[in-house]
A = this chain, B = another copy of it.
Amino acid sequence: MTFLKRYEELCAIKQEFAARDWFPGTSGNLAIRTNSSPTEFLVTASGKDKRQDTPDDFVHVDATGQLIGDEQNGRPSAETLLHVEVFNRTTAGCSLHVHTVDNNVISELYGDRGEIRFSGQEIIKALGRWEEDAEVIVPIITNHADIPTLAADFAKHIRTESGAVLIRNHGITVWASTAFEAKKQLEAFEFLFSYTLKLQACRQAIY
């Protein structure tokens, strides 16, 4: 029953993000833990149009990202290794990767600094930080076409039970305890990115 519940949670997130057009060109991938010991998780299958719903949208994989059993259609997302790092290094239940215009532009504008910082924003509370002077830092790492190289670099930034990493011109990965928490945090990050870009586009005109 846990497996089914997790499956349904992941379906719901996929449909909601598809409605927001957050999977351009079949980009993006989503993962949810279905078992803790040993680690098992569901991940979006490779190369599908996530605006469509089919019985083969997700595959069930083990702690190394390999298919469990030999009856599954489809291959795991090419970027499954990043989710493997999340589930092996934390107790997170859900890991979401999306590729939006705004998170890509932020990753490019701030990429040379290696990070972007946020503070003084009410929405930071959605990231579990309730102090008035809370500062949130999102690392921005170099993109590598070679996924094992990318995953190794990404893994260095998995330091907390929930968190986020931007990959330059390749989107954001957010992980948290549950599907609900991961989605909430991803929405908060996308809000912060859109806010920052609009502020920059409009600020100079006023003063």
Q: Which residues of A are in contact with B by a Cβ distance under 8 Å?
A: 16, 20-21, 24-27, 49, 51, 99, 101-102, 104-105, 108-109, 120-123, 126, 130-132, 143-146, 167, 169-171, 180, 183-185, 187-188, 190-191, 194-195, 197-206
Contact = CB atoms under 8 A, between A and B. Distances in A.
Contact of A102 (B26, B169, B198, B203): B198
A145 B27 CA distance: 36
A184 B122 contact: no
19 contacts: A16-B51, A24-B191, A25-B123, A25-B126, A25-B188, A25-B191, A99-B191, A104-B121, A105-B199, A105-B202, A108-B199, A109-B199, A109-B202, A109-B206, A131-B145, A132-B145, A132-B146, A204-B204, A204-B205
Given A202-B201, A205-B204, A122 B143 contact: yes
Contacts of A16: 51
A109 B187 CA distance: 23
